[in-house]
Amino acid sequence: MARKLLLEHINVPGINTLDVYRQKGGYRAVEKALKTLSPEEVVEEVKKSGLRGRGGAGFPTGMKWSFLAKPEGVARYLVCNADESEPGTFKDRYLMTYIPHALIEGMIVSSFALGANTSYIYVRGEMMPQIRILEKAIAEAKAAGFLGQNILGTGYNLELYVQPGGGAYICGEETALLESLEGKRGNPRIKPPFPAIAGLYGCPTVVNNVESIAAVVPIINDGGDEYAKIGIGRSTGTKLISASGNLVRPGVYEIELGLPVEEFIYSDEWCGGIANGKRLKATVAGGSSVPVLPANLTLKLANGEPRLMSYESLSEGGFATGTMMGSGGFIAFDEDQCIVRNTWNFSRFYHHESCGQCSPCREGTGWMEKVLHRLEYGHGKMSDIDLLVDVSKKIEGNTICPLGDAAAWPVASAIRHFRDEFEWHVKEPVKSLDTNYGLANYAEPIAKAEVTTGN
Amino acid sequence: MLKVEEQQPVTFSSALIEKCGEIVKRYPGGKHKSALLPILHEVQAELGWLSPDAMDKVASFLTIQPIEVYEVASFYSMYFLKPQGKFVLEVCRTGPCCLVGAEKLMDHLEQRLGVKEGVVTPDGLFSWRGVECLAACGYGPVLQIGPEYTFYENLNEQKVDQLIQDLRDK
């Protein structure tokens, strides 16, 4: 069995309550950090762990923390990014629903490390039930003396609040999130200055994903070195993967980084294979923003070696034959899914969610949506395919925040790997309305499950 | 775009005003504008939508300009700038949910309720719309109903029919 650090006790009845969470060793990290470690030592452990941001960018968390400016007499803030909105990603919702104290405990330890006395958890507004769960957990933790004034008699003070968002994907971008937390539209800020220098209310601020903050708890309990032993290379520790699409068992899984992708999809310990005995056509391995890969490149690198669930292996081959770990939103497409339709759907998403600040993104996402719509609905021209590539290139790298890139990559990669399917939509405009191109030559090396007939 | 639908004066209940006062305390002195998003959620939960008068009242409560409220309310997708049905059924229409049948489910919902997306049923009970990813991709198709945003997962036509019936009987 794979090692679990975050979800080890997820099936224990009542683990969402403080009492049961503590019976299972909860809040040990708070005791250890506040009573026996200095803030610098906590940062050092996180650095040693090699933990990389679990929200999508994969930036080393310890390093991000060490950039935090510490001018005298200026408040510092820790803000947890719980605006989980990347299509294909639902791990933070799961964690907050079933084991909210893991996040609260991580917030206390992390706030202590950063010297923050007021911290916020920015939760997307649609997660109102999770907001209620967190508020209840915070009240429990406060009543038990883990929050408030003079925590555990150590002299450290911390107030923790939950802030609801208003329904905007862009607020997952850290500076847009801070704008939103200040009561404004979620328009990303121009960087620099980075939040570590001027973040919330112009004060030094760290913004971390839910899973990154929860991972601080086992790192402090067992030590950064122990955490770094799990995983492979610079992909240390465990990662929550949100598995969705045409899988036998979609859901949230905690894997040790380095698990072969093939095992993750087909093993009964994980997703159990493709639903309804169908074959795998393609995957989006890290949330809708990352390049889509055909089945053969999902399972194997270009050189034929198995592809692993790690930051390095998933991006092996660059954008030519690789993809990215992203937020761990793993979407599987079976042989009956249409890549053109899905690309159009994702483009509509990015068009809808563009904040409108930068014209390449505001206009470009709209154009991509329109062109993809006409390809999908039988009005496309052959030149539309290159037009899409052209538009995507003009968005990529030309915007304040990464939403532009996130909108461009799925389109560019879909055409890179599935150009013949796009061409088929132009050549067969009527047929493509009610049939799909199917698997073509993207088949995985694994044969379709034998269907037993007769008695 | 912000369209002025009605200019009906509204009143906030004392419970709502008290709640808003509590929310403001979460932020450092002078940073009370941070309370805007949570307060708009509370107002919408009580009134069903954000009328211009309701937004003006929020502005004067927070001592900010009305435009600061309008620009926020019109930016975020959760705030309704026109009256809705008593129950707003919001179906996720993004990629992963479409792989498992969200589009068919929306067709069914439209036919079952007899109204197009965004239109309120004549009895005032229902409206529906497609929304972007709700972060529940593994349990699709999904829909949510405010103001508490209760989730309904792994939906099919029968479950939606039952849900509509249950809401009617409420």
Contact of A424 with A382, CB cutoff 8 Å: no
Of residues A126, A184, A337, nearest to B134 (C-beta)? A126
d(CA A421, CA A335): 13
Q: What residue spans of B63-120 are helical by DSSP H?
A: 66-75, 95-99, 102-113
Residue B20, marked binder: no
In a shared domain, residues B115 and B163:
yes
Q: What is chain B's alpha carbon radius of gyration, rounded to the nearest angstrom?
A: 18
What's the pTM value of the predicted model, to 2 decimals? 0.95
Tell whether A118 is within 8 A of chain B (Cβ). Answer: yes
Please judge whether B28 and A161 are an interchain contact, meaning their C-beta atoms are less than 8 angstroms apart: no
Strands A238-245 and A251-256: antiparallel
The CATH number that applies at residue B64 is 1.10.10.1590
| Domain A232-334 class, CATH top level | alpha beta
Cα–Cα distance for residue pair A91/B97, rounded to 1 Å = 16
Say which of A90, A129, A183 has its CB closest to residue B137. Answer: A90
| Interface probe, candidates B133, B142, B143, B150, chain A, greatest A C-beta count within 10 A | B133
Contact A125 B31 (CB under 8 A): no
Query: d(Cα A63, Cα A48) in Å, to the nearest integer?
Result: 10
Is A24 in a helix, a strand, or coil?
A: coil
Annotated binding-site residue? B133:
yes
Residue A38 φ then ψ, to 5°:
-90, 160
Domain hosting B48: range is 14-75
Nearest to A344 by CA among A407, A431, A294: A407
Which H helix or E strand runs over A78? Answer: strand A77-82
* Structural contact between residues B85 and B127, judged by C-beta atoms closer than 8 angstroms: yes
Indicate if B99 and B156 belong to the same structural domain. yes
With beta carbons under 8 A apart, name residues in chain A contacting B137.
Answer: 87-90, 242, 244-245, 250, 329, 331
Min Cα separation B107/chain A (Å): 16
Whether A166 and B150 lie within 8 Å, measured CB to CB? no
Q: Where is the domain boundary, B24, B45, B75?
A: B75
Domain ranges in chain A are 18-229, 232-334, 339-434
Kindly give the confidence (pLDDT) of every residue in chain A, 455 residues in length, as a single tens digit, with 9 standing for 90 and above: 678 999 999 999 999 999 999 999 999 999 999 999 999 999 999 999 999 999 998 999 999 999 999 999 999 999 999 999 999 999 999 999 999 999 999 999 999 999 999 999 999 999 999 999 999 999 999 999 999 999 999 999 999 999 999 999 999 999 999 999 999 999 999 999 999 999 999 999 999 999 999 999 999 999 999 999 999 999 999 999 999 999 999 999 999 999 999 999 999 999 999 999 999 999 999 999 999 999 999 999 999 999 999 999 999 999 999 999 999 999 999 999 999 999 999 999 999 999 999 999 999 999 999 999 999 999 999 999 999 999 999 999 999 999 999 999 999 999 999 999 999 999 999 998 888 887 765 555 444 444 444 33
Q: A38: distance to nearest CA of chain B, Å?
A: 26
Of B62, B79, B144, the CB nearest to A126: B144
Which residue among A129, A182, A346 sits closest to B34, beta carbon to beta carbon? A182
Q: With beta carbons less than 8 A apart as the criterion, state whether A263 and A253 touch.
A: no
Residue of B nearest to A346 (CA): B95
Terminal Cα distance for chain A, rounded: 36
Is B109 within a domain?
A: yes
Task: Looking at the structure, tell me whether residues B143 and B120 fall in a common domain.
Answer: yes
C-alpha neighbours within 13 Å on the C-beta side of residue A452: 1
Write out residues 144-163 of A within 8 Å (CB-CB) of B. 161, 163
State both tokens at A181: 């937390």
Q: Reduced to 3 states, what is the DSSP secondary structure of residue A120?
A: strand
Query: B71 and B134 share a domain?
Result: no
CA distance B14 to B3: 28
Q: What values do phi and psi take at A236, rounded to 5?
A: -95, 155
Whole-number Å distance between alpha carbons of A265 and A17: 33
With contact defined as beta carbons under 8 Å apart, do A184 and A46 qualify? no
Contact A169/B132, CB-based, under 8 Å? yes
In a domain, B80, yes or no: no
Q: What is the token pair recorded at A263? A: 């095992």
The reply to whether B94 and B69 lie within a common domain is no
Q: Is A104 helix (H, G, I), strand (E, B) or coil?
A: helix
A118-123 and A159-164 as β-strands: parallel, antiparallel, unpaired? parallel
The answer to whether B81 and B54 are in contact (CB under 8 A) is no
Give bridge partners of residue A247 from the DSSP assignment.
A274
Q: Quick count: other Cβ atoms within 10 Å of Cβ A215?
A: 28
Q: Do A345 and B94 touch (CB under 8 A)?
A: yes
The CA-based dihedral angle spanning residues A447, A240, B93, A422, taken in that order and rounded to the nearest 10 degrees: -40
| A339-434 CATH fold | de novo design (two linked rop proteins) (1.20.1440)
Spatial distance between the Cα atoms of A441 and A425, rounded to a whole number of angstroms: 16
Q: Of A15, A121, A58, give the one whose Cα is nearest residue A311.
A: A58
The last residue of one of the domains, among B33, B55, B75, is B75
Annotated binding residue B137: yes
CA angle A131, A132, A136 (to 5 degrees): 115
What fold, for A18-229? Rossmann fold (3.40.50)
CATH number for B156: 3.40.30.10
This model of the complex carries an ipTM of 0.95
